[in-house]
Amino acid sequence: MKSRSVIGLAALAAGLALAQASALAASAEKGKAAFVQHGCWQCHGYEGQGGVTGPRLAPNPIPFDTLSNFVRTTSRQMPPFRKEILSDEDLADIYAYLQSIPKGPDPNSIPLLNP
Protein backbone atom coordinates (compact mmCIF):
# COMPACT_ATOMS: atom_id res chain seq x y z
CA MET A 1 0.00 0.00 0.00
CA LYS A 2 2.69 2.41 1.06
CA SER A 3 5.00 1.53 -1.82
CA ARG A 4 2.17 1.96 -4.25
CA SER A 5 1.56 5.54 -3.16
CA VAL A 6 5.29 6.18 -3.44
CA ILE A 7 5.20 4.94 -7.01
CA GLY A 8 2.14 7.07 -7.61
CA LEU A 9 3.97 10.10 -6.31
CA ALA A 10 7.02 9.34 -8.41
CA ALA A 11 4.83 9.06 -11.50
CA LEU A 12 3.17 12.33 -10.59
CA ALA A 13 6.53 14.01 -10.12
CA ALA A 14 7.74 12.65 -13.45
CA GLY A 15 4.56 13.92 -15.07
CA LEU A 16 5.03 17.34 -13.54
CA ALA A 17 8.65 17.42 -14.67
CA LEU A 18 7.54 16.54 -18.19
CA ALA A 19 4.81 19.15 -18.15
CA GLN A 20 7.31 21.69 -16.97
CA ALA A 21 9.80 20.72 -19.65
CA SER A 22 7.19 21.11 -22.36
CA ALA A 23 6.14 24.44 -20.90
CA LEU A 24 9.76 25.54 -21.06
CA ALA A 25 10.02 24.43 -24.66
CA ALA A 26 6.94 26.46 -25.54
CA SER A 27 7.49 29.45 -27.73
CA ALA A 28 5.76 32.78 -27.20
CA GLU A 29 6.42 33.68 -30.82
CA LYS A 30 4.72 30.56 -32.15
CA GLY A 31 2.01 31.08 -29.56
CA LYS A 32 1.24 34.51 -30.93
CA ALA A 33 0.77 32.98 -34.38
CA ALA A 34 -1.41 30.19 -32.97
CA PHE A 35 -3.48 32.74 -31.05
CA VAL A 36 -4.21 34.46 -34.36
CA GLN A 37 -4.61 31.30 -36.40
CA HIS A 38 -7.12 29.75 -34.01
CA GLY A 39 -9.12 32.95 -33.77
CA CYS A 40 -8.66 33.53 -30.03
CA TRP A 41 -8.03 37.19 -30.85
CA GLN A 42 -11.52 37.61 -32.28
CA CYS A 43 -13.04 37.48 -28.83
CA HIS A 44 -10.08 38.14 -26.54
CA GLY A 45 -8.16 40.81 -28.49
CA TYR A 46 -4.72 40.43 -30.10
CA GLU A 47 -2.93 40.82 -26.80
CA GLY A 48 -5.48 38.85 -24.81
CA GLN A 49 -6.53 42.18 -23.34
CA GLY A 50 -10.21 41.28 -23.54
CA GLY A 51 -12.90 42.63 -25.80
CA VAL A 52 -16.63 42.96 -26.15
CA THR A 53 -17.11 39.23 -26.51
CA GLY A 54 -14.36 37.67 -24.39
CA PRO A 55 -12.69 38.41 -21.05
CA ARG A 56 -9.09 39.50 -20.51
CA LEU A 57 -6.56 36.62 -20.61
CA ALA A 58 -3.31 38.56 -20.10
CA PRO A 59 -1.21 39.90 -18.49
CA ASN A 60 -1.05 37.49 -15.55
CA PRO A 61 -2.80 34.54 -17.21
CA ILE A 62 -4.58 32.02 -15.00
CA PRO A 63 -2.56 28.83 -14.20
CA PHE A 64 -1.88 26.64 -17.23
CA ASP A 65 -3.89 23.66 -15.92
CA THR A 66 -6.96 25.82 -15.33
CA LEU A 67 -6.61 27.44 -18.72
CA SER A 68 -6.06 24.23 -20.62
CA ASN A 69 -8.94 22.53 -18.84
CA PHE A 70 -11.24 25.43 -19.65
CA VAL A 71 -10.23 25.68 -23.31
CA ARG A 72 -10.70 21.94 -23.84
CA THR A 73 -14.00 21.45 -22.06
CA THR A 74 -15.92 24.72 -21.89
CA SER A 75 -19.56 24.54 -22.86
CA ARG A 76 -20.59 28.10 -22.25
CA GLN A 77 -20.32 30.96 -24.77
CA MET A 78 -16.82 30.08 -25.86
CA PRO A 79 -16.60 27.04 -28.13
CA PRO A 80 -14.36 24.25 -26.77
CA PHE A 81 -11.09 23.69 -28.65
CA ARG A 82 -10.34 19.98 -28.57
CA LYS A 83 -6.99 18.38 -29.22
CA GLU A 84 -7.90 17.54 -32.81
CA ILE A 85 -8.30 21.25 -33.54
CA LEU A 86 -5.77 22.83 -31.19
CA SER A 87 -2.78 20.65 -30.36
CA ASP A 88 -1.24 20.51 -26.88
CA GLU A 89 1.85 22.09 -28.36
CA ASP A 90 -0.09 25.03 -29.79
CA LEU A 91 -1.88 25.50 -26.50
CA ALA A 92 1.41 25.50 -24.58
CA ASP A 93 2.75 28.06 -27.07
CA ILE A 94 -0.37 30.19 -26.66
CA TYR A 95 0.18 30.07 -22.91
CA ALA A 96 3.79 31.14 -23.36
CA TYR A 97 2.55 34.04 -25.48
CA LEU A 98 0.03 35.11 -22.84
CA GLN A 99 2.74 34.89 -20.19
CA SER A 100 5.05 37.03 -22.29
CA ILE A 101 2.65 39.96 -22.44
CA PRO A 102 4.08 42.65 -20.19
CA LYS A 103 2.14 44.05 -17.30
CA GLY A 104 1.24 47.71 -17.47
CA PRO A 105 2.91 50.13 -15.06
CA ASP A 106 1.61 50.44 -11.54
CA PRO A 107 -0.97 53.29 -11.66
CA ASN A 108 0.61 54.72 -8.52
CA SER A 109 3.82 55.28 -10.48
CA ILE A 110 2.12 57.57 -13.05
CA PRO A 111 2.33 61.16 -11.78
CA LEU A 112 -0.60 62.37 -13.92
CA LEU A 113 -2.89 59.89 -12.18
CA ASN A 114 -1.65 60.88 -8.77
CA PRO A 115 -1.82 64.68 -8.52
**DSSP codes, 14-37:** HHHHHHHHHHHH--HHHHHHHHHH
Q: Which of 3, 77, 109, 114 binds ligand HEC (CB under 6 A)?
A: 77
Report the run of H or E that residue 100 belongs to, with start and end.
helix 88-100
Distances from the Cα of 60 to the Cα of 4, 19, 71, 87, angstroms: 37, 19, 17, 22
Residues 14-73 that bind ligand HEC (CB under 6 A): 38-40, 42-44, 53-55, 57, 62, 67, 70-71
Q: Which of 58, 86, 92, 96 binds ligand HEC (CB under 6 A)?
A: 86
Q: Which of 74, 80, 82, 110 binds ligand HEC (CB under 6 A)?
A: 74
Which residues form the interface with ligand HEC (CB under 6 A)? 38-40, 42-44, 53-55, 57, 62, 67, 70-71, 74, 76-78, 81, 86, 94
